[in-house]
Chain A
């Protein structure tokens, strides 16, 4: 049976080939990670335009200095998300966009308008968290990242990730409590 290489195992090779002008490597790398980068920025900002700009700046930073990737310090996605985080926070500081729900409005699932409204409420609650708490929620709760990898992205100890996440969840629960339906629609 032929085993496929894990993505992490060929990251160094992909990055090394970037500087040789290997377009195929560039496209592979971009297509593999663009979704996560874009989603992180979108969750953090609530703005598609800002998320696109942050994603662009992230990949431009990698293009400018592919040598900054050091596999000993973490995965490539951790490096990219760390860059995206900095770019997003800088753009938020500069632009201070209003949170426009229509930017990230989802089409309601058929017959599930109530669920869609709940998603919007949760999304808005996440966006109103201070940035330091918002990012741990985005990485660990929305993007299913483990604490160790989130700590690499955020450049902080694992314990800090845990405590911030605990505090963030409390804040979210307080903000969402009035919105929980009387009859829980997620089930018993």
Chain B
């Protein structure tokens, strides 16, 4: 083997030996956080899947959450999101789904769902036990993590 061939082989060998080199895992995590911060955490889920997820979550709250106190007043939540529909509707104020205030900058999406009618009672609203339908319309504010932040009811 002449020197040229030896050089060829040596370079090929070096290239092959480092073919499995990868950037450290922490870089992926770091860049993912940067991406989420820049573009918002929006999964491309179909709307029906989001609605189902919100309904299941709210249903779980209905089963597990303690009943609100009788004199608890709704905490108005200001959201900068656009109304879901421009048709004339009557809506309540937003009720926080979990304890604590809801901040505008953590809200990423507003979706329209149907929830069990009994959910009205959980938030101190009338009509939880009567009405022609077993579900009512509601708007749910989702945070950047896809979890519900607040709910309002629609008539």
Residues of A within 8 A of B (CB): 17-24, 26-27, 30-31, 34-35, 37-39, 42-43, 51-52, 55-56, 59-60, 63, 106, 115, 118-119, 122-123, 126, 137, 141-144, 169, 172-173, 176-177, 180, 184, 186-188
Q: Closest CB of chain A to B13's CB: distance in Å? A: 6
Excluding A34-B22, A38-B21, A172-B11, 12 further A-B contacts by CB distance (< 8 Å) are: A39-B21, A42-B18, A55-B23, A55-B27, A56-B27, A60-B31, A60-B34, A63-B34, A123-B14, A142-B18, A173-B3, A184-B6
Chain B residues whose C-beta falls within 8 Å of the C-beta of A23 in the assembled complex:
32, 35-36, 41-43
Interface contact A43-B39, CB-CB below 8 Å = no
Q: Closest CB of chain A to B76's CB: distance in Å? A: 29
Known contacts A52-B24, A123-B14, A176-B10; is A188 also within 8 Å of B1 by CB? yes
CA distance A18 to B13 in the complex (A): 37
C-beta contact mask, B29-49 vs A, less than 8 Å → 1, else 0?
011101110111111100000
CA distance A42 to B39 in the complex (A): 30
Interface contact B23-A26, CB-CB below 8 Å = no
Chain A binding surface, main DSSP class? helix
Q: Is B67 an interface residue, CB under 8 A from the partner?
A: no
Q: Closest CB of chain A to B145's CB: distance in Å? A: 12
Known contacts A55-B27, A169-B7; is A184 also within 8 Å of B1 by CB? yes
Please give me the residue from chain A that is nearest to B39 by CB atom. Answer: A21
Please give me the residue from chain A that is nearest to B31 by CB atom. Answer: A59
Known contacts A21-B41, A180-B6, A187-B1; is A56 also within 8 Å of B31 by CB? yes
Interface contact B3-A180, CB-CB below 8 Å = yes
Interface contact B1-A186, CB-CB below 8 Å = yes
Residues of B within 8 A of A (CB): 1, 3-4, 6-7, 9-15, 17-19, 21-24, 27-28, 30-32, 34-36, 38-44
CA distance A60 to B31 in the complex (A): 7
CA distance A62 to B38 in the complex (A): 12
Please give me the residue from chain B that is nearest to A55 by CB atom. Answer: B23
Interface contact B31-A142, CB-CB below 8 Å = no
Interface contact A63-B31, CB-CB below 8 Å = yes
CA distance A126 to B14 in the complex (A): 10
CA distance A26 to B37 in the complex (A): 13
Q: Closest CB of chain A to B6's CB: distance in Å? A: 6
CA distance A165 to B28 in the complex (A): 33
Q: Which of B14, B15, B32 sits near A144, CB closer than 8 Å?
A: B15
Q: Closest CB of chain A to B20's CB: distance in Å? A: 8
CA distance A34 to B22 in the complex (A): 7
Interface contact B6-A142, CB-CB below 8 Å = no
CA distance A176 to B14 in the complex (A): 14
Interface contact A18-B39, CB-CB below 8 Å = yes
Known contacts A21-B40, A23-B41, A186-B10; is A42 also within 8 Å of B21 by CB? yes
Interface contact B42-A39, CB-CB below 8 Å = no
Chain B residues whose C-beta falls within 8 Å of the C-beta of A172 in the assembled complex:
7, 11
Chain B residues whose C-beta falls within 8 Å of the C-beta of A37 in the assembled complex:
23
